[in-house]
Chain A
Amino acid sequence: QKEVEQDPGPLSVPEGAIVSLNCTYSNSAFQYFMWYRQYSRKGPELLMYTYSSGNKEDGRFTAQVDKSSKYISLFIRDSQPSDSATYLCAIRSTGFQKLVFGTGTRLLVSP
């Protein structure tokens, strides 16, 4: 079983839709949860960073962590064509710097 599972997509939505991206993980020691966005032909860039369970909001983006279910989500409100990218979840344990990445979900937002 992979440590982090993520649906590769692609996920196609119309402009203005609410997007939900998800990852599941297996190791309960994971405490730090991140979402990276990767545009085509670019390196990933950090989008959201959360500690432990709960929600974190930043503009149109909301990151949600449910540790009891080992499930993390990224919600994008009022999606825009510029949001079209691959979204990778990344997780790490306390005291370790190594990140475990999901395989990424490709999102396509059509005008």
Chain B
Amino acid sequence: EAQVTQNPRYLITVTGKKLTVTCSQNMNHEYMSWYRQDPGLGLRQIYYSMNVEVTDKGDVPEGYKVSRKEKRNFPLILESPSPNQTSLYFCASISYRDLDYNEQFFGPGTRLTVL
């Protein structure tokens, strides 16, 4: 089954304690992305990756890091989490049918609370 998996699904942590949210896709997609979703603000892109070892900032990258050492994995790292990073996080993997069409497949989400 084609899917994007994220772990953990729920996490409560404290300010300053480093954490990693993992993301993995089994569709051999080159393009992957991380979003956060907040009430009234919608989905905002944090970072994206166009291929292995190629990453770039999205709209809200501050306080986050990513890496792309393998095609299937795209972890999100919070080196020193703060309460304003409390949010619902989604990883997405993009399929290209042709230059005009792409579809983003989203993971199930990770609800993070930073105390």
Contact digits for B1-43, partner A, Cβ 8 Å, 1 yes 0 no: 0001000000000000000000000000001000000001111
Chain B residues whose C-beta falls within 8 Å of the C-beta of A46 in the assembled complex: 103-104
Enumerate A58-111 residues with CB–CB distance to B below 8 Å.
88, 97-99, 101-104
Residue of A32, A51, A98, A103 near B58 (CB, 8 A) is A98
A8: which B residues are within 8 A, CB to CB?
40
Majority secondary structure, B binding face: strand
Number of interface residues of A (CB under 8 A): 19
Chain A residues proximal to chain B, CB less than 8 Å: 6, 8, 32, 41-46, 49, 51, 88, 97-99, 101-104
Give chain B nearest CB distance to A49 CB in angstroms.
7
Could you tell me if B58 and A44 are in contact, using CB atoms closer than 8 angstroms?
no
B83-115 contacts to A (CB < 8 Å) = 90, 92, 94, 100-104, 106-109
List the B side residues contacting A101 at CB < 8 Å: 42-44
CB neighbours of A102 from chain B (8 A): 42
